[in-house]
Structure 1
Amino acid sequence: MRATLIGFTAVLLWALLALFTVGTAPVPPLQLNAICFAIGGAIGVVWVSATGGWRRLAGVSVWVYLFGTAGLFGYHFFYFSALRNAPAAEAGLIAYLWPLLIVLFSGLLPGERLRMGHVLGALVSFAGAALLMVRGELGFSVQYAAGYGFAALCALTWSSYSVLSRRLGAVPTDVVAIYCIATTVLSALAHLAVEETIWPGSPLGWASVIGLGLGPVGLAFYTWDVGVKRGNIQLLGTASYAAPLLSTLVLILAGVARPSSVLILAAMLIAAGAGIAALAGRKADDVG
């Protein structure tokens, strides 16, 4: 349970993603990605150096590093590409299939027991997140097919990364530092190829960038690694739908968004889904 709670802190940090991202405008997304992952990588380097982790990292296969980098960079590359080629509501909804896919894919892991309650809970929570994200504005169109495809790849990338990370339970979380550094390099190269460099124009902008790098695009990936490797992955996947809900609440508290009846209903659905998944997990433990 401790590892699951550690993993859930990533969801809490991701709740700050929207607020900080708003404050970083007009920094281009890939440039922002490079800066934030550089900060996240620096966090890891300090931790690895302080704990003597370089010796542990020396024994890790290069394929593990390639896998982790593909997960972190691939997710963000596909996400940004989806938002550039399709409306945000539809692209975001497809991309946010990843918690549901984590729950479903976890059934393929050795030693894991996927129950109908896990699937039902994930579906109920997804309904709540969908209600919150689209707010009745959903309208899929064939002209945005490329964007929808990128969003689907985004969901597949992060869910596959999260579930396969469980197979790497013996690999220390220190490796995330290398994932972040490699993602920084790839993001910087992609930025230079397709974007114009624009730096934050105010202290608030710089504070938002640093906040992103320290939390949602930094520490969160380390705690998520602990959660998916050692925690209850089905419960963690379902509970991830709290991220858009908490993000909306943060925006309301910051005065960027307004409360509504949709928010209340979405909260009830997300909480109900998490409760169903937790109950299913408890029954599975009792049977085991």
Structure 2
Amino acid sequence: MLLNTSRLLHLPWLGGGAAALAVVLWALVPLLVTQAGALPPLRLSALALLAGALGTLPMARRRRNPSAAGRSAKEALVYLGVALLIAGAVGASFTAFTLAPAAEASLILYAWPVLFLLASRRLALGRLPATTLAGALLAFSGAALLVAPQALSGGMSGAWSGYLLAAVAALCWALYSLACQVPAWRLGKRMPHLLLIASVLTGIASLALEGTASLPSQETLLVTAALGLGPYGLAMLAWDRAMRDSLAHQVGQLAHAVPVLATLILVVAGVAAPDWRLPVAALLVVAGSVTAARRPTDHPTLRGGMAD
């Protein structure tokens, strides 16, 4: 049995399949959040993260490492810091989807791979290559195409606040991705505990900012469970598996399809109205992400994509 499992984990198509599964599940987030609209966003975040923690617990169980017993302070710091990033990313994005149109907010949110590339290339090279800067400007121009009408109309409420929160969520996901690159932290193995801590943090924030509320309807609870078990449970484990693949730098390019797929799902579901700005902005974000992920000509050994 162990031998068969080992062979299964090393099948050549498994990394790409895991990444594709994660991309599809992440693209469903804006639609699922809008379907659970009766639930306040922070409370929805807490319940979804709790469902993700419970769902990933049996899949991510590992043996304890006795040699790590003396590093409790460092362990606690890792758990709290990464859980804060997850709580900030999920809470901010869910709130953004309630304050701004879901399609526009999701395109801003899913520009996070560009932020990740900017940070990882800066850390790896001590500078930002021209291709990375050009790609970032291209992707951000796509987000600006959506934000500009709100910015020109003035005010910091409503959709404009949602856009800002989507940008905050993108920054949190970029920092979380950087944390995933630290081998000693082994975030995939810690995922159930990280999601559980993030659930507690967002739950506390919900009680403080949203107050108490009655028990959600059965339909809303089912949507919340799907949101937690899928995008914030199975998808995160699948992405962790994809990033440990030998071709992770190629497999990671699939993440650039998330904003286009999310927008397409919202339009097909009737949540977002067809608008010429949406496909143009989506193409700019994807083109910018792909451009930013290109290897610098003066540093050909640097990997592109999400696995830097």
- 2:29 aligned to 17, 21, 39, which one? 17
Q: Is 2:249 the partner of 1:232?
A: yes
Q: CA RMSD in A?
A: 4.0
Report Cα offsets for 1:49-99 as digits up to 9, x if no partner. Answer: 4xxx04259947222212221211132344466678x76699877766533
Taking a change above 3 Å as real, the CA distance of residues 16 and 114 of structure 1, as seen in their structure-2 partners, is: same
Q: Is 2:172 the partner of 1:157?
A: yes
Q: Which moved more, 1:173-182 or 1:216-225?
A: 216-225
Q: Is 2:261 the partner of 1:255?
A: no
Q: How many residues are paired up?
A: 279
Corresponding residue for 1:120? 134
- Structure 1 regions of 5+ residues with no counterpart? none
Q: Is 2:214 the partner of 1:201?
A: no
CA contact (8 A) 2:52 2:232 kept: yes
Offset at 1:154?
3.8
CA contact (8 A) 2:19 2:242 kept: yes
CA contact (8 A) 2:32 2:223 kept: yes
Letter in 1 for 2:81: F
Corresponding residue for 1:62? 76
Partners of 2:67 and 2:93 in 1: CA distance: 32
Partners of 2:280 and 2:179 in 1: CA distance: 33
CA contact (8 A) 1:25 1:200 kept: no
Corresponding residue for 2:152? 139
Partners of 1:94 and 1:271 in 2: CA distance: 12
Partners of 1:58 and 1:91 in 2: CA distance: 44
Corresponding residue for 1:166? 181
Taking a change above 3 Å as real, the CA distance of residues 4 and 100 of structure 1, as seen in their structure-2 partners, is: farther
- Structure 2 regions of 5+ residues with no counterpart? 1-11, 303-308
Q: Stretches of 4+ moved more than 6 A in 1?
A: 81-84, 88-94, 145-149
Taking structure 1 as the reference length, what is the TM-score of the superposition?
0.75
- Match of 1:127, SS state, is helix
Taking a change above 3 Å as real, the CA distance of residues 40 and 69 of structure 1, as seen in their structure-2 partners, is: same
- Match of 1:255, SS state, is coil
Identity of aligned residues (%): 32
Letter in 1 for 2:152: G
Partners of 1:4 and 1:282 in 2: CA distance: 24
- Match of 1:46, SS state, is coil
Partners of 2:140 and 2:255 in 1: CA distance: 10
Corresponding residue for 2:232? 217
Letter in 1 for 2:54: A
Taking structure 2 as the reference length, what is the TM-score of the superposition?
0.71
Q: Which moved more, 1:168-177 or 1:134-143?
A: 134-143
Q: Which structure is richer in relative contact order (CA contacts within 8 A, separation 6 or more)?
A: 1
Taking a change above 3 Å as real, the CA distance of residues 229 and 113 of structure 1, as seen in their structure-2 partners, is: farther
Q: Is 2:68 the partner of 1:31?
A: no
CA contact (8 A) 2:117 2:292 kept: no
Partners of 2:39 and 2:282 in 1: CA distance: 32
